[in-house]
A and B are shown apart, each in its own frame.
Chain A
Amino acid sequence: MNKGQKIFQYVFLTIVSLLSVFPLYYMFCGATNKSTDVVAGKLIPGGYVAENFKALLANQDLARAMWNSFRNAVILTALALLVCSIAGYGFEIYHDKGKDVVMTLLLTAMMIPFAAIMIPLFKMFSTLKMVNSMAAFMLPTISTPFLIMLFRQSARSFPHDIIEAARLDGLSETGIFFRMFFPTMRSTYAAAMTITFMNAWNNYLWPKVILQTDSSITMPMLVANLLGGYTVDYGMLMLGVLICTLPTAIVFFCLQKSFAEGITGAVK
């Protein structure tokens, strides 16, 4: 690579990085400034965050939305990881013709757009008297073909010798999964956790349909509600956006390294 190409590369990457970060910086500045300053394009963090926070608390039930979102996302992630990883492991380790056919069938479910099944799901849950329940929010996304595929791919790299050795030592099949597979596949679990937690936290369409009472509100719904008024308080809005973004950003930063490793293991 000659010098010109090298310089171009750094310039290009720097510009893309700045463009990627800028809207987030804008959000941060907005959250700490007065609405009028946000509109005026002030790009220096201000000292108005306490006032914005007070306005947000007066306007919306922030604590409840936070709690609901956390509870839903954490329980959903735990269930999804358990159900999908054991299935992915089962599909790979005990694979035979029958199971391969089932796997192919499940993969076709990836193509079903959520908008297509949303109405029947809503009707089903209302017949079951489960509208506004946490279970109705979670059930459709606990088992996803994508996660099953991710775990199946990573189970491919799990050495069969370990399984045989564990069997000889008298470990049960379930024991092998929990004591051998689970601890060794940490990075796959981290990647799956990051993706599932983010999807659960960010999900908007389904909760908007199935969670209709004020008490079951989630963070993305709360943020959308901030636009409801006649005039928009941009400072308050940006603070809401910031608070809604923090948990997924933290999860991402903590698991960033294992996330990349886990995906690498899966696309091999």
Chain B
Amino acid sequence: MSGPNKKGMSLEKKHNVTGWVFLIPATALICWMSFYPMIKAFIMSMQTGIGINLTFGGAANYLRILKDPTFKQCLFNTFFYLIIQVPVMLVLALALASMLNNKHLRFKGLFRTAIFLPCATSLVSYAMIFRSMFANDGFINTVLRGFGMNPIMWFANAWTARAVIIIALIWRWTGYNMVFYLSGLQNIEYSVYEAAKIDGASPVQSFFKITVPLLKPTILLTTIMSTNGTLQLFDESLNLTNGGPGKSTMTLSHYIYNTSFVQSPNFGYAAAMSIIVLIMVAILAVIQMKVGDER
């Protein structure tokens, strides 16, 4: 860009330069706040030691991950949440959205607002609500007792604790994804559905033959977003169950946080684990995009 002076620049060139000026602040910030720390994390993952006394250790941290039972446990937990929660939530969100897209449905606004409402609560807040509802002496157990059933110690057992986390996640995020589907559905001409109806298609048929194929880009977007979010799960693990009982509900992000900032900080090891999370997120995103591209 070596225009001799402003007047000598062609209009096109001037616009080109303006364009770059417009996107420089955002681009520079992402480079400084995401890419640069990413490279730093990679370098750090090759170092070993406690606190700030780090020495080069090569792949030592990565080898340690292979032998770390806590990492394996957290990896299992994170994927367990992913495999159960993401499909259930997205199917539910899609079903709700296509019901709410029905022109003749009454109280549409009321249903939509109610279902989206959980998204207005902060992650810490809803963790607290579910924690107190499912507490040993909490509301759910009081209800169970009222029905003459035995109370369940939700947070004392690994599987029930995981179930609470999944229930809480579905409660918090279904409405959020539903809004994306509703928006996508508005771009589909309603007459398509009416034509299908005249041709004798059942609601279920038009859901699978019209809604799902036309919503593919939105489904892809929400799948990638929720996969990403679940792999990075932190607040719920910390505030709802504190990883317990033992480490049976702890997520990878929670373990990385504990390794970095609780007790004796081991930045190198934490960085190596976070590189593994990055690789998993990237691989899953690529797979999902590949699957989403097939028609």
Contacts and interface: CB of A to CB of B under 8 A. Distances in A.
B129 A9 contact: no
B30 A143 contact: yes
B124 interface: yes
Contact of A5 (B110, B174, B203): B203
Contact of B183 (A39, A248, A267): A267
A113 B225 CA distance: 12
Contact of A94 (B16, B44, B252, B274): B16
Contacts of B228: 110-111, 113
B66 interface: no
A120 B118 CA distance: 33
Given A224-B239, A267-B183, A267-B218, A23 B232 contact: no
Q: Which of B26, B123, B174, B203 has the most CB atoms of chain A within a 10 A radius of its CB?
A: B26
Nearest to B239: A224
Contact of B23 (A18, A27, A90, A226): A90
Given A17-B115, A20-B175, A40-B142, A116 B183 contact: no
A110 B29 CA distance: 14
B206 to A, nearest CB: 10
Given A205-B257, A267-B183, A245 B232 contact: no
B128 A227 contact: yes
Contact of B25 (A83, A95, A240): A83
A19 B172 CA distance: 11
Contacts of B252: 115
Contacts of A121: 33, 37
Nearest to B282: A111
B160 interface: no
Interface string B169-183: 001001100011011
A267 B221 contact: yes
Interface string A108-131: 011111111111111110000000
A201 interface: yes
Contacts of B122: 201-202, 204, 219-220, 223, 244-245, 248
Interface stretch (A46-54, A56-64, A256-264): A256-264
Contacts, number: 272
Interface in A26-73: 26-27, 30, 38-41
Contacts of A115: 232, 234, 252-253, 256-257, 274, 277
Interface in B31-70: 32-38, 40-41, 44
A202 B124 contact: yes
B157 interface: no
B99 A87 contact: no
A7 interface: no
Contacts of A75: none
B81 interface: no
Contact of B30 (A14, A41, A109, A237): A109
Contact of B182 (A38, A142, A248, A260): A260
A200 to B, nearest CB: 11
Interface string A225-248: 011000010100110110011001
B232 A114 contact: yes
B29 A113 contact: no
B264 interface: no
Q: Which of A106, A111, A201, A268 has the most CB atoms of chain B within a 10 A radius of its CB?
A: A111
Nearest to B29: A143
A246 to B, nearest CB: 9
A209 interface: yes
9 contacts: A1-B203, A18-B114, A89-B22, A90-B18, A113-B232, A115-B274, A121-B37, A227-B131, A264-B183
Interface of A: 1, 5, 9, 12-14, 16-21, 23-24, 26-27, 30, 38-41, 83-84, 86-87, 89-91, 93-96, 99, 102, 106, 109-124, 139-140, 142-145, 148, 173-174, 177, 198, 201-202, 204-205, 209, 219-221, 223-224, 226-227, 232, 234, 237-238, 240-241, 244-245, 248-249, 252, 256, 259-260, 263-264, 266-268
Interface of B: 15-16, 18-23, 25-27, 29-30, 32-38, 40-41, 44, 92, 96, 99-100, 102, 105, 110-111, 113-126, 128-133, 135, 137-139, 142-143, 146, 171, 174-175, 179-180, 182-184, 186-187, 203, 217-218, 221, 228, 231-232, 234-235, 238-239, 252-253, 256-257, 260-261, 267, 270-271, 274-275, 277-278, 281-282, 285
